[in-house]
Amino acid sequence: MSEPRSLVDLSAQARLRTGAPAAAPRLRVLCCPPSGAAAGYWRFLVREDVHVLGVQYPGRESRFRDPAAPSLTALAEEAAAAAAAAPWAGDGVPLVVLGHSMGAAVAAELASALQHRHGLRPALLALSAKAAPGTDGPGTDGPGADEPADGDGPAGLRADELDSDEALVRWLRGLGGTPEAVLANPELLALQLPVLRADLRLSLAHDRLPAPVAAPLLLLRGTRDATVGRAAMAGWRAAAGGPVHVREYEGGHHPLAEHRDELLADLAACAGPSSSAPPPAPPSDPPR
């Protein structure tokens, strides 16, 4: 049975390429990519004993012709419904919901929807390089005046510059993670920038924390990430119903691929027990 278009089974794709046999996973990771990226962003996580699935946003790869989502919450709810209906749902393998940058906000909403709408409790919610809503600027409990605010704020890019291709390219170059060959290619930029612009608008408009998830929370950040500070990320604690763990990896805004084995070890170590029962029919009025 194939996954819905909103989910991409990256582990299955890897087996097709390599001919490797399927192995029983010890961990399942449902991954939400950053703004402008597609599900394939997470291919680096694939390992024989880890089942990796990427959330595919509209407007890219297999969903190239799909219109942009109306909200970040809609992205999460679509993915949650697909995950809850998947043949692996509730099979007892610990489910980690992981998101990076804009994807962290999607992941938080996704994990909450899985629990409160579909009765499927994740084993861990892992959020990387994204300020919690309401902490994207200086404040008494948010980042200080000298601390970076939010990579999707977007730091170094004013809201009135979102329509400027030059400003977006400058911002991407400052973040790192995008090959210079892409940034210097007008044809590739013509495909990527509209998707990035739509994602940034969704991220900027998202201003709420979801209902707390009864799972551990893992906060991830690069040691040299100039886009988000520790205090801004700490705001996600309000969305946690379990213990909170913090890990920092050497690097900038995109450190996860360079620390794959360390990341997978941290995900496994921080994950708690997840619900192994098949998800019941969703309630008509989930808590908020």
276 is annotated as an active-site residue: no
Q: 6, 35, 101, 128: which is the annotated catalytic residue?
A: 101
Buried b (16+ CB within 10 A) or exposed e, 86-116: bebbbeebbbbbbbbbbbbbbbbbbbbbbbb
Place of tokens 């962290």: 104
Query: Minimal CA–CA distance to 233: which of 135, 147, 139?
Result: 135
CA distances from 216 to 56, 74, 212, 241, 274 (A): 25, 24, 11, 7, 10
259 is annotated as an active-site residue: no
Cβ pair 151, 225 in contact under 8 A: yes
Q: 253, 254, 274, 275: which is the annotated catalytic residue?
A: 253
Question: What is the 8-class DSSP label of residue 141?
Answer: S
Provide the sign of the torsion angle of the four alpha carbons 280, 68, 40, 130, taken in this order. Answer: negative
**In 10 A of CB 248, how many CB atoms?**
14
CA distances from 117 to 31, 114, 151 (A): 19, 6, 29
* Catalytic residue IDs: 101, 253
